[in-house]
Amino acid sequence: MNMTQKRWLEIPILLAIIWFCQALELSIVHMPYYLGTPQIISLIVAYISFSRGWASTVLLSAVFAFIGSANIGYATGFFIAAHIWSALCTKTVVSALTLEGRPAFALLVAGYNFFLKSLTWTILKSVDASPTLSLFFAQFISQTLIMAIVAWLLFPFFQKWDDYFMHASDEDNLRQSTLLR
Amino acid sequence: MNDELSLSTRAPLRLLKYNHRLQSKALMLFSRFFRRNRSLLFKVLLFLSPAIPLLMVKAPEMPSLRIYDRMQSWIVHPIAEVFTEATRGAAYVWDHYFMLVGASKENESLKREVENLESQLLSHEELRNENQRLKTTLAMPELPALSTIAGEIIGQDPAGESLAFFINVGSRHGVKPRMPVISPQGIVGTITRVYSHYSMFVAVQDPSHAVDGMIPRSRAQFITEGRGLSLTGRLKYLDRSADIRVGDLVVTSGLDKVFPKGLKIGFIIKVDRPRTGVTQNAELRPSADLSYLEEVLVVTNQKPVPTPPPAEENAL
CA distances from B9 to A113, B1, B16, B19, B185 (A): 69, 13, 11, 16, 92
State pLDDT tens for residues B42-97: 777 777 777 777 776 654 444 555 677 777 788 888 888 888 888 888 887 777 76
Residues of A in contact with B227 (CB under 8 A): 131-132
Domain locations along chain A? 3-25+39-165
Q: Which pLDDT score, from 0 to 100, does residue B306 have?
A: 47
Asked if B202 and A85 come within 8 Å (Cβ–Cβ), the reply is no
DSSP summary character for residue B63: P
pLDDT of B313 reads: 42
A161 touches chain B (CB under 8 A): no
- Residue B270's beta-bridge partner residues? B283
End-to-end distance of chain B based on CA atoms, in angstroms? 114
Between CA B32 and CA B36 the distance in angstroms is 6
- Rounded to the nearest integer, the mean pLDDT of chain A is 83
Q: What is the CATH number of domain A3-25+39-165?
A: 1.10.1760
Per-domain residue ranges of chain B = 148-302
Measured between alpha carbons, how far is B19 from B13 in angstroms, rounded to an integer?
Answer: 10
State the maximum Cα–Cα separation within chain A, in Å, rounded to a whole number: 52
Residues β-bridged to residue B283: B234, B270
**pTM of the predicted model, to two decimals?**
0.73
Q: Do B63 and A75 touch (CB under 8 A)?
A: yes
Sign of the alpha-carbon torsion through B201, B206, B212, B217: positive
Cα distance between residue B222 and residue A107, in whole Å: 46
The beta-carbon contacts of B310-314 under 8 Å, at least 24 apart in sequence, are B310/B139, B310/B140, B310/B141, B313/B139, B314/B139
Mapped onto helix, strand or coil, the DSSP state of residue B285 is strand
Evaluate if residue A117 carries a pLDDT over 70: yes
Q: Does A115 touch chain B (CB under 8 A)?
A: no
B-chain residue closest to A89, CA distance:
B47
Mean pLDDT score across all residues of chain B? 78
- According to DSSP, the residues that pair with B224 across neighbouring strands are B211, B235
How far, in Å, CA of B118 to CA of B208, rounded?
40
Does the pLDDT at position B10 exceed 50?
yes
Give the architecture-level CATH label for domain B148-302: Beta Barrel (2.40)
Chain A residues with beta carbon closer than 8 angstroms to that of B158: 22, 25-26, 29-30, 36-37, 39, 71
Give yes or no for residue A68 having a pLDDT over 70: yes
Which whole number is the average pLDDT over B153-175?
Answer: 87
Q: How many residues does chain A have?
A: 181
Chosen for mutation from B161, B165, B290 (greatest number of chain A CBs closer than 10 Å) is B161
Q: Summarize pLDDT for A127-138 with one digit per residue, the tens.
A: 877 878 888 888
Q: What is the largest CA-CA distance in chain B?
A: 126
CB contact under 8 A, A71 and B206: no
From B160's Cα to the closest Cα of chain A, the distance in A is 4
> Which of A44-48, A72-76, A97-101, B300-304 has the least mean pLDDT?
B300-304
H-only helix segments in chain B: 2-36, 38-48, 51-55, 67-93, 103-138, 310-315
Q: Is the dihedral of CA B175, B180, B184, B188 positive or negative?
A: positive
Q: What is the C-alpha to C-alpha distance for residues B290 and B278, in angstroms, rounded to an integer?
A: 33
From chain A, the residues in CB contact with B156 under 8 A are 26, 30
Q: How many residues does chain B have?
A: 316
**Of the partner residues B158, B231, B290, the one whose CB lies closest to the CB of residue A26:** B158
Count the Cβ atoms, other than its own, within 10 Å of residue B69. 17
pLDDT digits (tens, 9 = 90+) for B219-241: 888 888 887 755 566 667 777 77
Pick from A104-118, B51-65, B81-95, B254-268: least confident: B51-65
Query: CA of B190 to nearest chain A CA: how many angstroms apart?
Result: 12
B171 C-beta neighbours (distance < 10 Å), count:
15
Distance between CA B264 and CA B268 in Å, rounded? 12
Is the Cβ of A177 closer than 8 Å to some Cβ of chain B?
no
- Helix B38-48 and helix A54-68, axial crossing angle in degrees, nearest 10: 10
* ipTM of model over 0.90: no
The DSSP secondary structure of chain A, one letter per residue, reads --HHHHHHHHHHHHHHHHHHHHHHHHHT---GGG-----HHHHHHHHHHHHS-HHHHHHHHHHHHHHHGGG-SS-HHHHHHHHHHHHHHHHHHHHHS---SHHHHHHHHHHHHHHHHHHHHHHHHHTT-PPPHHHHHHHHHHHHHHHHHHHHHHHHHHHHHHHHTTHHHHHHHHHHHSS--
3-state DSSP assignment of residue B61: coil
Min Cα distance A123 → chain B (Å) is: 9
The nearest CA of chain B is from the CA of A31 a distance in Å of 9
| DSSP states of A76-91 | HHHHHHHHHHHHHHHH
Any idea what DSSP says for residue B301?
Answer: -
Overall average pLDDT of the A83-102 stretch: 85
A135 against A83, higher pLDDT: A83
A146 in reach of chain B (CB within 8 A): no
pLDDT band at B316 (very low <50, low <70, confident <90, very high): very low
Nearest Cβ partner of A88 from B46, B63, B69?
Answer: B46
Percent of chain B at pLDDT > 90 equals 4
Contacts of A37 in chain B (CB under 8 A): 158-160
- How far is the alpha carbon of A79 from chain B, nearest alpha carbon, in Å? 9
Q: Are B229 and A121 a contacting pair at CB < 8 A?
A: no
Rounded Cα distance between A132 and B206, Å, is: 10
